[in-house]
Structure 1
Amino acid sequence: MEAKEGMEYPELQGAVAAATPGFSGLRQSSTKPVWTLLEEAAQMKTEGNAFYRERNIRSAIGRYHRALLILRGLDSDVMSVKGFGPETPALTPEQQDSLRNTQVDCYNNLAVSYAPCLLQRQSVDYTRVREYSLRVLQWRPGDVKALYRAGVATLEMGDAQTAKQYLTQACRGQPNDANVRKHLQKVEEKLNRELQKEKAMYRGMFSSGLKSSSTEGIDQTNRAGV
């Protein structure tokens, strides 16, 4: 699913508004130079990091989403299909790198903001953690942190097979990471339990079939002897 920089969740729009006075919820067109917009987005990310370190998570989330909204107007991949919607400025390779680096950092930080070990939440929205992590992987397929978070979130959402793919890739990138190995082991255990349950189900079906066939054979024998 495509993330929409905070607009897909109404409460996050409130976080963005709280973090940036005067924010209306809609991206206003800007005639600012590209580098100015890139610097503004980087500044928002830096402020978000500062709020995060203070455990002011709501303000941190607002800053990260505001940074992504600023960058949205520069990103041709996000804005529109070719030939429709507003034109995006042509970026130099250096500007494109700056854009992607800030986007990746913001999405990684958003994913971390929903991680239970840091927020100590009773309930965690793993859908968001997975969504933001997959957005990072769209641009950086080998990002170990995003692979790890996508794997943990996918496991918690009940898809152990897909979680194994993410965590196996993360383990290749960081083979000595204890957290990655621990969750990969949890995936293997879950898959093994599911396999054993499936085998038991088929054994039960097979036994029932044999018993039914045996009963029918006895009945036919008894009728033949009458």
Structure 2
Amino acid sequence: MEATGADDSLDVQEAAAAESSLPGHRQTPAKSVWTLLEEAAQMKTEGNSFYREKNIRSAIGRYHRALLVLRSLDSEVMKSVKGFGPERPALTPEQEALLRSTQVDCYNNLAACLLQRQSVDYARVREYSLLVLQWRPGDVKALYRAGVATLEMGDAQTAKQYLAQASREQPNDANVRRHLQRAEEKLKQELQKEKAMYRGMFSSSLKDDSEEEINQTNGVGEGV
């Protein structure tokens, strides 16, 4: 299984090449923006097809390429590199909506792809899912994946919050219920361990106090 970092590097190079060779890339700014947005949307569609065919590596590649193209149009990203290269005009509301929708879908689908890998990068799954929730609060799939990833990373309390919210939105989803139950069981186990630890500490403290009292009593008797 290839390392995730290697795939990402390859995808970034391919996406950069794809962006520079897009038809109409050097035409009027308005047409160029729409061309790039349509290209990114097409890459997302191709990624969806690969995912349905269980070709996870190719699906990941398409989603990464789409996201890299969108980065060149994202005002939030481009603010940090202002002054480098030609500036694009502000996106229209329609363009902004298409950019964000495509971007969110790609991150959501990337998280789904990563969960299909033999070796799952749960930190990356959670990162992508939280990005989706940042732009699309209440997205059930993102809540579910964030919950699963967070649970696997050892934070059952936060995982329960994500999964409980997903369960409220989709109460009949068997996968959501199963992982929510896992989170609750883990929290119960952690609570039992904590109680046992405190009982042990309390018992040890009582034993120490009892031994100290016996020693003090013995000392008085010997003194008399």
Asked if 2 retains the 8 angstrom alpha-carbon contact of 1:48 and 1:63, the reply is yes
1:197-220: per-residue Cα shift (whole Å, max 9, x none)?
Answer: 000000000000000000000000
User: Which residue of structure 1 aligns with residue 55 of structure 2?
Assistant: 56
> CA offsets per residue over residues 80-110 of structure 1, 9 Å max, x none?
3496656453111111110011001101110
Indicate if the aligned counterparts of 1:15 and 1:58 stay in contact, CA closer than 8 A. no
1:126 and 2:122 correspond:
yes
CA contact 1:16–1:59 (8 Å) conserved in 2: no
Change (3 A) 1:70 1:187: same
Question: What residue in structure 1 maps to residue 106 of structure 2?
Answer: 106
| Number of residue pairs aligned between Structure 1 and Structure 2 | 210
Check 1:174–1:204 CA distance in 2 against 1; reply closer, same or farther (3 A cut). same
Residue number in structure 2 paired with 1:217: 213
Q: Is the 8 A contact 2:140 2:169 kept in 1?
A: yes
Correspondence 1:1-226 to 2 at 5 A: 9-17=5-13, 22=17, 31=26, 33-81=32-80, 87-116=87-116, 119=117, 121=118, 123-226=119-222
1:54 offset after TM fit, Å?
2.1
Contact 2:147 2:163 in 1 (8 A): yes
Flag the 1:21–1:101 CA change in 2: closer, same or farther, 3 A. closer
Deviation (angstroms), 1:53 = 2.0
My pick for the range that moved more, 85-94 or 199-208, is: 85-94
Task: Choose 1 or 2 for highest CA Rg.
Answer: 2
Residues 140-172 of structure 1, C-alpha deviation per residue, up to 9 Å, x if partnerless? 111000000000000001010110111111112
Taking the aligned partners of 1:114 and 1:82, their CA distance within structure 2 comes to: 29
RMSD: 2.3
Q: Structure 1 residues 20 and 103, CA, compared in 2 at 3 Å: closer, same or farther? A: closer
Structure 2 Cα separation of the partners of residues 109 and 175 of structure 1: 22
| Identity, % of aligned positions | 70
Q: TM-score, normalised by structure 1?
A: 0.85
Helix, strand or coil for the counterpart of 1:124? coil
Task: Report the alpha carbon displacement of residue 67 of structure 1 after superposing the two structures with TM.
Answer: 0.5
SS in 2 for 1:114: helix
5+ residue gaps, structure 2, are: 20-24
Distance of 1:136 and 1:101 partners within structure 2: 10
8 Å contact kept, 2:41–2:102: yes
Shift of 1:74: 1.0
Q: Structure 2: how far apart are the matches of 1:208 and 1:84?
A: 67
Scaled by the length of structure 2, the TM-score of the pair is 0.86
- One-letter code of the match for 1:219? N
